Amino acid sequence: MRIYISADIEGVAGVVNPQHGAMGNAEYERARRLMTQEVNAAIAGAFAGGATEVLVNDSHGDMRNLLPDELDERAELIIGKPKPLNMFEGLTPDHAGIICLGYHARARAPGILAHTVNGFAFGRIHLNGLELGEAGLYGAYAGSIGVPVILLTGDDCLQSETKDLFPDALYAVVKQSLGQRAARNLAPERARALIRAKSEEAVRGAGGMKPFRLDGPYRLEVEFNTPALCDLAAVIPVATRLDAVTIALEPSSTEHAVRWINTLSALSAILR
């Protein structure tokens, strides 16, 4: 049984500040080690639950945060970017389930370090009328190839936001949000123990979990944080500008919706 882990950092126990996710400071070095340890807990749980293969994809920032020399040697690791499917690169239909580790709530919602894909660029993203964060957007892509999200780890706001999208999935809530940059956290050892236990349980039950699916035709609406960012996106010939900060696209699939979002994210760097 093949299990896929997509690892972000904002939902890791002890992570509460943008410095924790930004290279070049001691707080980041501490956070990336905590991230790696939580991934190891999920890997251990997955193998205990019956996994025969685990693939981990580093899904935060420039996607070279996990410490390869400290990762459980039984797993394989994807690091670096750009890569075609970004946070779910390497996912294939023969994976039995996905663990979204260290995930967070969507932009403009309560939750620790809440944002959607690119905090500088995006205010809200709707796909077929649903406002979705990273878990929902990538979960919809996974559903399109028949793979369910079986476990999400992060704060309580992530759970409340996504439980209707993934009603069969398990959750490891490792911290309670007290605001955008403050949380009541489990101690790292307790967080890892919880993740390991939930990972084992989720993998054992993966066969009974249903994927999150969105049927076409597809409409993607992206609200930017400034009109200047929307000016930039509106140059794309297939984009329709809806107002000062919003464009609409009509992707042919959820995969193409994800690719458009990542393209727009990369394009926004011009205005940083």
Inter-CA distances, 262 with 39, 95, 138, 230, 254, Å: 24, 23, 11, 15, 13
Strand partners, 150: none
* C-alpha 46 chain-centroid distance: 18
Compute CA 108 distance to the chain's CA centroid, rounded to the nearest angstrom.
16
The residue annotated as part of the active site, out of 95, 115, 126, 256, is: 115
Residue 20 bears catalytic tag = no
In 3D space, the residue among 211, 90, 94 whose CA is nearest the CA of residue 144 turns out to be 211
Catalytic residues: 115
